[in-house]
Structure 1
Amino acid sequence: MCSMELLHPRVESIYRDHHAWLQAWLLRRLYNRNDAEDLAHDTFERLFTRQDVTAVREPRAMLTTIAKGIVVNFLRRGALEATYYELLMQLPQDYALSPEEQALVLEDLVEVDRRLSGLPSLVRQAFLLAQLDGMRQAEIAAELNLSRATVQRYIAQGLHACCFEWTEA
């Protein structure tokens, strides 16, 4: 955090009164003190940059709500990273990526995952069946009990979310 004397008194009060509690709350969920400290910092940063702190009536409830979202994203990213590195280990040496390339690909995967997670479940499922499983639209329609036109629309929505919005971000 920045110097406390520069902060609004309400911000200072919320931080002082609830920081240790939030770190303990996060530690019980993550079992790692460093991660709990990092996510507590991220939670307060999000609270102080996105909320009118003077209007917060129940700081712990607000902090818990923010922290839950941060924890979900943190765990999701961890699972994605673990899967990604497992797959990298299976690649033949001729296809090995440099550490810089690995980091860039991982960041892209995290961004695609974030974008896909914002789609409705059936849209995401239809898109992934087409892109990852190579299923044809008619097969996806039968699998998901949808019309072929709906499958086409869902795939287009997935493409739009993953590709066309990329330059807008």
Structure 2
Amino acid sequence: MIGELYSSHRGWLQGWLRKKVGCLHQASDLVQDTFVKLLSSASLPALREPRAYLLVIASHLMIDHYRRRKLEQESLQTMAVLAEDALAASPEEQAATRQLLGETLRVLARELDDKPYRAFLMARVDGMSYAEIAAALGVSESSVKQYLSKALAYCHARLYTHD
């Protein structure tokens, strides 16, 4: 059933998503995520309007993608501001910042899954590109993006729930 749904509607869904997101690769990732979501569901209902059903799933995934992207951009902007502040700080403030960073990394190591944690370190501490991280972890660049989104979302949630 899903194989038939995939072969009948994949091209159409990818075209629709490409118009929405403006990127063929991102549209392809969202199409794959849509069908993975279908595969992981307990049961597939009888579909009278399969395209409408696929649009709902793809739209939700697209919204989640944009939320993660926005969160990542906000986190990067915050980190840039903090880095600027750290350069202008006194030696005592710099030492306190390093201590806080060390504690933050220890918390992340305990509370995040291994791959999101390692991807976060490679990206933010080592300055590696998505392609380099993907090669180091043996995963796709899409997975790296998901790992980084998960790590940044976790950091964001910790910041705003533990003020």
Asked whether the 8 Å contact 2:68–2:149 carries over to 1, the reply is: no
Identify if the C-alpha distance between structure 1 residues 70 and 105 changes in structure 2 by more than 3 Å, giving closer, same or farther: closer
Q: Does 1:110 align with 2:153?
A: yes
Q: Could you tell me how far 1:71 is from its partner in structure 2?
A: 0.6
Provide the residue aligned with 2:4 in structure 1. 13
1:100 corresponds, among 108, 121, 128, to 121
Report matched runs for 1:45-124 at 5 Å: 45-50=36-41, 52-53=43-44, 55-90=46-81, 91=83, 92-93=86-87, 94=94, 95=97, 99-100=120-121, 102=124, 107-111=150-154
Kindly provide the amino acid, as one letter, of the partner of residue 52 in structure 1.
S
Aligned length: 110
Q: Which digits, 9 at most, give the CA deviation of each residue in 1:10-62, with x for residues without a partner?
A: 22210001001111111111111111110110001101221533622321111
TM-score if structure 2 supplies the norm length? 0.55
TM-score if structure 1 supplies the norm length? 0.53
Asked whether the 8 Å contact 1:84–1:106 carries over to 2, the reply is: no
Asked whether the 8 Å contact 2:69–2:149 carries over to 1, the reply is: no
Provide the residue aligned with 1:6 in structure 2. none
> Quick one: percent identity of the two aligned structures?
27
Provide the residue aligned with 2:13 in structure 1. 22
Which of these two proteins has the greater Rg computed from alpha carbons? 1
Q: Could you tell me how far 1:108 is from its partner in structure 2?
A: 4.6
Asked whether the 8 Å contact 1:11–1:48 carries over to 2, the reply is: yes
How far apart in 2 are the matches of 1:105 and 1:28? 26
**Unaligned residue ranges in structure 1 (runs of 5+):** 1-9, 116-127, 133-169
Identify if the C-alpha distance between structure 1 residues 12 and 108 changes in structure 2 by more than 3 Å, giving closer, same or farther: closer
Identify if the C-alpha distance between structure 1 residues 62 and 55 changes in structure 2 by more than 3 Å, giving closer, same or farther: same
Runs of 4 or more off by more than 6 Å in structure 1? none
How far apart in 2 are the matches of 1:89 and 1:23? 35
Asked whether the 8 Å contact 1:43–1:67 carries over to 2, the reply is: yes
Kindly provide the amino acid, as one letter, of the partner of residue 153 in structure 2.
V
How far apart in 1 are the matches of 2:15 and 2:148? 34
Kindly provide the amino acid, as one letter, of the partner of residue 33 in structure 1.
L
